Structures are given as structure tokens and as C-alpha cells.
Amino acid sequence: MKLTRWRAFAAAFLALLQPVLPTALLARQQVAKVQAHPAIWRVQKGPSTVYLFGTIHALPPGLEWETPEVRQVVGRADRLVLEAVIDQDPTKSAAALFKMGTATGPIAPLADRIDPKYRGALTALEKKSSVPADTLDKLKTWAAGMVLFGATVQTLGVNSADGVEEHLKAQFRAANKPIEGLETLEQQLGFFDTMPEPEQRQFLEGVVDQKSDDAADFGKMLGAWKEGDEKGIARSFDKDMKKSQALRNVLIARRNAHWADAIVQRLDQPGTQLVAVGAGHLVGQDSVQAMLAKLGYKAMRVE
């Protein structure tokens, strides 16, 4: 797999998996207010309705994504369903990452797990992070990549505190409506923990290999999301994911199939539920909607 493919995936990560890094690792950058029009789908069964809303997990402040249609859906929903309910205390999320991500036996230094030509970039990125190099050396390769990913996000000017999930959670808490998860945090981390070591190392190299056009890659994906452009979102990472079928199966196909089963079960409950997951899960051939169709349920786009 070409390394540039992994760099592009690192940017699209924000539309695929809820970040488990402390928000303090992510930079804030004030931008002019921009109105977005993200996509929403509806699935119905008798007295039960499920809305599917594709999110971006970290956004630049000032981006207005709550359209009248989004506000209407939020108002109707009896409960919010996220990929996972991450604890409000970011130190607990970080602790879970380090607990699962710390190697239990001898492991090579991080610099020895990547191509020598990227070692200088690794050292520079380690300095940007808030984690000492000797601590990173004790982490499994995927975990070190996720920690260092937080430092790469600084160049994108986004913050998970400004992401869709945080705003939705605040609204549902204020309305005293329940918030539930399709997965646990440990399950999310486990997806990476099952990756073969060669793919973990490619992922780490992709995170380390920062380029001047990383922000442009993210900008294209964000622009497509703002316009509700399903094909544009898919183009941001779909070709890259196809380069690694194993990774695609772990992070997209298997999870989306599981979520579709869970949504069908939720359709047996009367009322209205808002399911908000990374936008990358609602596009392409392995989308949640495609999995629902296999189960005999049609997701109709309403926004």
C-alpha cells in the first residue's frame, strides 16, 4: 500500500471512528461562520422511527451544521445513539487507550518499527505530543499511532469539543433524554488491536508522514460533508480503504453490519431515535444503509 493512501485515511479518520483522545491534544482555530447542510436518512417500522445522521467527530469552531431539519430531528428524537458513549472525563478515555495499548511483553522501540526515512519525522511528532518518547516506545504500534494522531490534528485546526457528537450530547442531556452507544470504548479500541502488525506499522507511518496537503485532504472531505455529498465523502477515503481489505472489514464492513442488526432491533421499540455515527459509515457499498437493505429495510434520505 502506498503511504500516501494512509495519510489520506488519517484525515478521513475523523469521519470514521469517534476519537478517544483528550480534547486538549486538539488545536482550536477561529474561522468565519459557515453554514453546512449534512445528510440525514430515515428508517421506519410501524410506530418506530430511526434517523441516521453522518457526523464529523472534530470540527473547526464556527461551522454551523444545525440546519432547521437537524434541529427538528433532534427535537423529535426520544434518545440519542452514538458509536460509543465516551466518558465526559477525557482522562478516563486516555487511560483506557493506554491500558489496552500498552505492550505486555518486550517490544521494539517505536523508531525501529517504521522505515528509517520516517524516523526524523517521528521524533518531531513525538515532541509535538504530550506523551514522552519512552512511554510511546512501550505502546503497541496502533496505540502509538492513535496517540500521535492527536498531534497531527493540530495542523487541521479542529477540535473534538466542536464536533457534532459533543453538541448533540449537550442538547440531549439538557433535555434529560437518554444517550446510548452501539459499541463500548473498549470495543472501538479492540478493532485496532486486532490489526496485523504490518498494517499497524503502515498506519503509524501514515500518521507520521505529515505533508503540506494534509489540510487540503481534510478540507475536501469536510467540504463534501457540509454539502451532504455522499459520493464526495466516499471519495475522500473509499479508494484508500479498498487498498486494505482487512482494515476495511475491521473498521467498516463488520461494524456496519453489526450496527444494522442493532438498528433493526431498535425498530422494535416505539418512538423516535437519532443514530449519529461517523459520516464514513453512511456512504459506499458497505454503508449502514446497504446493510439495512440486506435485512429488508430501506433508509430514505430526508435531508
Average pLDDT over residues 189-203: 86
CB 225 within 8 A of CB 55: no
Of the candidate ranges 85-94, 98-107, 223-232, the one whose mean pLDDT is the lowest = 85-94
Q: List the domain range (segments joined by +) for residue 166.
A: 3-301
pLDDT digits (tens, 9 = 90+) for 248-276: 777 788 889 999 999 999 999 999 999 99
Q: How many CA atoms lie within 13 A of 81 on its CB side?
A: 19
C-alpha to C-alpha distances, 99 to 87, 109, 186, 245, nearest whole angstrom = 15, 18, 10, 28
Q: Is the pLDDT of residue 82 over 70?
A: yes
Least confident range from 113-117, 140-144, 188-192, 264-268: namely 188-192
For the chain, percent of residues with pLDDT exceeding 90:
44
What is residue 33's predicted lDDT score, i.e. its pLDDT? 57
Cβ distance 6 to 206 under 8 Å?
yes
Instruction: Inform me whether the pLDDT recorded for 213 exceeds 70.
Output: no
The domain tally of the chain equals 1
Q: Which of 253, 245, 254, 274 is nearest to 78 (CA)?
A: 274
pLDDT higher than 70, residue 221:
yes
- Ramachandran area for residue 284 (φ above 0: left; ψ -120 to 50: alpha; else beta): left
User: With a threshold of 0.85, does the pTM exceed it?
Assistant: no
Confidence of residue 214 (pLDDT cuts 50, 70, 90): low
| Percent over 70 (pLDDT), the chain | 80
Taking 60 as the threshold, does the pLDDT of residue 9 lie above it? no
Confidence of residue 72 (pLDDT cuts 50, 70, 90): very high
pLDDT band at 13 (very low <50, low <70, confident <90, very high): low
pLDDT at 7 over 70: no
Quote the pLDDT of residue 243.
56
pLDDT, average across residues 168-186: 93
Q: Where are the beta strands (DSSP E) in 34-160?
A: 34-35, 40-45, 48-55, 63-64, 79-84
pLDDT in tens, 21-40: 434 333 344 444 567 889 99
pLDDT at 64: 87
Round the average pLDDT of the chain to a whole number and report it: 82
Mean pLDDT across 125-152 = 88
User: Exposure pattern of 189-199 as b/e (b: 16+ CB <10 Å)?
Assistant: bebbeebeeeb
